[in-house]
A = this chain, B = another copy of it.
Amino acid sequence: MALIVHKYGGTSMGSVERIKNVARRVAKWHAAGHQIVVVPSAMSGETNRLIGLAKEIQEQPDPRELDMIASTGEQVSVGLLAMALKSLGLDARSYTGWQVPVRTDASYTKARIASIDDARIRGDLDQGRVVIVAGFQGIDDDNNITTLGRGGSDTSAVAVAAALKASECLIYTDVDGVYTTDPRVVPEARRLRVVSFEEMLEMASLGSKILQIRSVEFAGKYRVPTRVLSSLTDPLMPLDEEMQSGTLITFEEDEKMESAVVSGIAFSRDEAKVTVLAVPDKPGIAYSILGPIAAANIDVDVIVQNQSVAGTTDFSFTVHRNEFQKTIDVLNRDVVTQVGAREVVADPKVAKVSIVGIGMRSHVGVASLMFKTLSEEGINIQMISTSEIKTSVIMDDKYMELAVRALHKAFGLDQTQA
């Protein structure tokens, strides 16, 4: 008997029929003798409906009141799922965030979990009940309702699993695992049976939307074995078969990790590049450029400062494409004249392509193979950024798919897994 946390996304909870399927799957796990805690999201579309209502009332909705409203989607989900389980003859009980309670800081709409009280959940599990906990929500020290931000139910599930020291956290979603890259771009993309925590973290930060990045951080911090798998399979498929599906995020490097040096190719078209030309090269120049950008609440991604030539340098960075114009405005207003730069040039049509792999730590020449491959395809690299297990390049966005396909082949990801 193991204690297992299931998380179901909005699509999996998207209709009465789907909720009944979730209940059938949970009942199967329970019947196998496991203790089950379920963390569902709001029914798909519901959170957007609620936020839309709020924005009709107040253009910039008050964050406390927005959380008051947005948290109701999950509250409805937990009640409906408890009913579906009861109609299958199981004893089930639902809880909101405050009833557990899930304590968070007071940052409305993007709160962070501080602690989870496991007493009430354990009491129910000990009585044979399935426990259903509303994802996405908690309360601050003054008992105000908070929410964790988009995708926050993933974080709720992993945090509940950590608090209960669960054997595994199963994240059921509308894809059947983590792939070497997006199968819509590269049909040969393969599902990874195992991926390391560090790789998953890089992929999440690079824009792969399978898991909220904070849930991956949580899984890593508390070493919660977490599996991504599909809720669209037959809910009554045999348990051992189900446990072979999906992708396991692991912390044990000696588990049978992928032998490949590179595990996956991530990419994003949401990038825009900005360059401040001929900046006088002196200490503090990065801060004098990026300080005003941060003050305007703009996230900066890749940053490159070239070697200085004749006492000036070119300073480039990328931002989300939605914040492109705002970035240029801030630079022209607050930066160019102050730092004595010549001008700002910008390109909103760039893409980022990244190779990710824990094997890169111990293998040399991985980045070289990436650059060689892109060069052979005639793709010009505009910027480069590296971490221990990732290399990202910025390029003209029209080359993005070509680059992803070429790299997927060059790193042997097309081949079926050994």
Binding site for B on A (CB under 8 A): 16, 19-20, 50, 53-54, 56-59, 61-62, 64-66, 68-69, 71-72, 75-76, 78-80, 82-84, 86-87, 93-94, 96, 98-99, 143-145
Given contacts A69-B75, A72-B75, 18 further A-B pairs with CB under 8 A are A16-B53, A16-B57, A53-B76, A57-B80, A57-B83, A57-B84, A58-B86, A62-B82, A62-B86, A65-B83, A65-B94, A68-B82, A68-B96, A71-B75, A72-B72, A72-B76, A75-B75, A99-B144
Instruction: Give Cα A75 to B144, complex, Å.
Output: 13
Listed A/B pairs (6) with beta-carbon separation below 8 Å:
A19-B57, A50-B76, A57-B87, A65-B82, A71-B75, A99-B143
The residue in chain B whose Cβ has the minimal distance to the Cβ of A17 is B56
Nearest-neighbour CB distance to chain B for A154, whole angstroms, equals 22
Instruction: Give Cα A224 to B144, complex, Å.
Output: 30
Which has the most chain B C-beta neighbours within 10 Å: A80, A96, A99?
A80
Known: A86-B58, A99-B143, A143-B99. A66 touches B53 (CB 8 A): no
Residues A84 and B58 in contact, CB atoms below 8 Å apart = yes
Give which listed residue, B54, B83, B94, contacts A83 with CB less than 8 A: B54
Measured between beta carbons, the chain B residues less than 8 angstroms from A56 are 16
Residues A78 and B72 in contact, CB atoms below 8 Å apart = no
Nearest-neighbour CB distance to chain B for A131, whole angstroms, equals 13
Give which listed residue, B57, B75, B84, contacts A68 with CB less than 8 A: B75
Give which listed residue, B59, B66, B82, contacts A79 with CB less than 8 A: B66
Measured between beta carbons, the chain B residues less than 8 angstroms from A64 are 93
Measured between beta carbons, the chain B residues less than 8 angstroms from A69 are 75-76, 79-80
Measured between beta carbons, the chain B residues less than 8 angstroms from A16 are 53, 56-57
The residue in chain B whose Cβ has the minimal distance to the Cβ of A139 is B99
Instruction: Give Cα A83 to B94, complex, Å.
Output: 29
Copies in the complex: 2
Measured between beta carbons, the chain B residues less than 8 angstroms from A78 are 68
Nearest-neighbour CB distance to chain B for A207, whole angstroms, equals 31
Instruction: Give Cα A94 to B64, complex, Å.
Output: 9
Residues A62 and B83 in contact, CB atoms below 8 Å apart = yes
Nearest-neighbour CB distance to chain B for A111, whole angstroms, equals 16
The residue in chain B whose Cβ has the minimal distance to the Cβ of A71 is B75
Measured between beta carbons, the chain B residues less than 8 angstroms from A57 are 16, 19-20, 80, 83-84, 87
Which has the most chain B C-beta neighbours within 10 Å: A53, A66, A68, A87?
A68
Instruction: Give Cα A144 to B79, complex, Å.
Output: 12
Nearest-neighbour CB distance to chain B for A26, whole angstroms, equals 14
Measured between beta carbons, the chain B residues less than 8 angstroms from A87 are 57-59
Instruction: Give Cα A127 to B335, complex, Å.
Output: 42
Which has the most chain B C-beta neighbours within 10 Å: A56, A76, A83?
A83
Instruction: Give Cα A84 to B53, complex, Å.
Output: 11
Measured between beta carbons, the chain B residues less than 8 angstroms from A66 are 79, 83
Instruction: Give Cα A87 to B66, complex, Å.
Output: 13
Measured between beta carbons, the chain B residues less than 8 angstroms from A61 are 83
Which has the most chain B C-beta neighbours within 10 Å: A79, A84, A145?
A79
Instruction: Give Cα A78 to B62, complex, Å.
Output: 12
Give which listed residue, B54, B80, B93, B99, contacts A54 with CB less than 8 A: B80
Measured between beta carbons, the chain B residues less than 8 angstroms from A76 are 50, 53, 69, 72
Nearest-neighbour CB distance to chain B for A85, whole angstroms, equals 9
